[in-house]
Amino acid sequence: MDNLIMMLGWAGLYGPMALGAIGSIIGCAIAGQAACGALLETETGHGRYIGISAMPSSQAIYGIVVMFALNRTVTPDNAPGLAAIGLLCGLALLFSAAHQGRACAAAINVSKIRPEIFGMSLAPAAIVEGFAVFAFIFALVISAGVPA
């Protein structure tokens, strides 16, 4: 049983980074595919489409920071806390990045038709990013309570 607890503790250390990176991969791929389509359909504004497609990459960065905040010797006493914080934060980052990619793809698709609403079309992606920031900040705060 201790081996399972220790394994979960180690998964909790690496989980925020790994799951955040997986979400960023999915989100950037979804938005990037929309950006590639927009490049073919528009004559200008290509840089902003590529820039938007990189927005979901921030969740991988948040995951790296949480991983460093959780980094400590894994013991049977702190492994459950590390697992809970790391894996739940990682899942939040994964889902946030994937859905932010969809919101970015929608922003790209709408702004290629009506470029004047480009800024407003990014609001849903920014809102999704806000939830990733909540998960990030709360994981950092709670990580201080996990024994070293």
CATH code of the domain containing 102: 1.20.120.610
In whole angstroms, give the CA distance from residue 140 to residue 68. 10
In a domain, 148, yes or no: no
Question: Which pTM value belongs to this model?
Answer: 0.93
Task: Provide the token pair at 89.
Answer: 């934060």
Q: How far is CA 25 from CA 29, 48, 82, 127, 131, in A?
A: 6, 19, 24, 19, 18
Letter string b/e over residues 26-48, b meaning 16 or more CB atoms within 10 A of that residue's CB: bbbebbbebbeebeeeeeeeeeb
Examine residue 48 and state whether it is found in any structural domain, yes or no: yes
Q: What are 5-47's pLDDT values in tens digits?
A: 999 999 999 999 999 999 999 999 999 999 999 998 888 888 8
Q: Largest Cα–Cα distance in the chain? A: 61
Residue 134 lies in a domain: yes
- Whole-number pLDDT of residue 9: 96
Is 111 inside a domain boundary?
yes
Task: Give the residue numbers spanning the domain of 55.
Answer: 2-143
49 in any annotated domain? yes
Number of structural domains in the chain: 1
